[in-house]
């Protein structure tokens, strides 16, 4: 579903990592009838996001057939993925639509964020007043985060190594709107086998 709103949101779905702690491409792990990367993508597809840029790197040749060819989805390859998350953000930003006002950063290893939560964040961002919008569940900040493109694209492009949006959030506490949500999925990521066993 695409929103009928003047606020254009481009999502970067970061799916380039090597998954070193799990010994392989965790993006391809099965969750129900889908792979993890597909579950994360479909949550975005069901939301009011206008554009989805999925950034691949490690195992791109295996992941790409699962995600390309869908409406609103653009696939880009980060050949520098070994240098950290910042390089995926840089690669994704180069593909962002010129109309985008908000950049939503989502992670492929967080497949349990419902579209309703994403839409809540978009609505709060569209309401204005703050340049950074993120979910909070039982007092804990989670993902995804939406950042004003106008205000923060230069800082996103200046990130180095394995750093992401968290660095920018920490640097601008007065510009952050926390949105209380009922979904624990915003704080659940799958980094290790124990995490996967709990949810699979």
DSSP letters for 29-72: -EETTEEHHHHHHHHHHTSS-SEEEEEEBTBHHHHHHHHTT-TT
Write the CATH number for 108.
3.90.550.10
The reported pTM is 0.90
> Is residue 1, in this structure, part of any structural domain at all?
no
Domain that holds residue 183: 9-199
Question: What secondary structure letter does DSSP report for 82?
Answer: G
> Is residue 115, in this structure, part of any structural domain at all?
yes
What is the tally of structural domains in the chain?
A: 1
How far is it, in rounded angstroms, from Cα 150 to Cα 156? 11
pLDDT band at 132 (very low <50, low <70, confident <90, very high): very high
Evaluate if residue 1 carries a pLDDT over 80.
no
> Is residue 192, in this structure, part of any structural domain at all?
yes
What is the tens place of the pLDDT at every residue in 148-188?
999 999 999 999 998 888 889 999 999 999 999 999 999 98
Rg (CA), the chain: 15
How far is it, in rounded angstroms, from Cα 175 to Cα 157? 19
């Amino acid at each position: 579903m695409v929103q009928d709103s003047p606020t254009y949101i481009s999502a970067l779905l970061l799916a380039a990592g090597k998954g070193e702690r799990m010994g392989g491409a965790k993006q391809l792990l099965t969750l129900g009838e889908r792979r993890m990367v597909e579950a994360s993508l479909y949550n975005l597809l069901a939301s009011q996001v206008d554009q989805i840029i999925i950034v691949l790197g490690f195992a791109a040749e295996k992941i790409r057939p699962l995600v390309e060819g869908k409406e609103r989805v653009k696939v880009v390859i980060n050949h520098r993925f070994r240098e950290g998350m910042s390089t995926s953000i840089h690669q994704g930003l180069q593909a962002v639509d010129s109309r985008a006002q908000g950049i939503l950063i989502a992670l492929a290893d967080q497949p349990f964020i419902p579209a309703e939560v994403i839409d809540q964040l978009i609505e709060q961002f569209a309401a204005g007043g703050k340049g950074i919008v993120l979910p909070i569940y039982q007092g804990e900040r989670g993902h995804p985060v939406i950042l004003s493109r106008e205000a923060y694209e230069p800082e996103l492009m200046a990130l180095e190594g394995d750093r992401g949006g968290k660095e920018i959030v920490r640097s601008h506490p007065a510009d952050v709107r926390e949105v209380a949500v009922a979904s624990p999925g915003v704080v659940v990521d799958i980094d290790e086998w124990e995490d996967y066993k709990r949810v699979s």
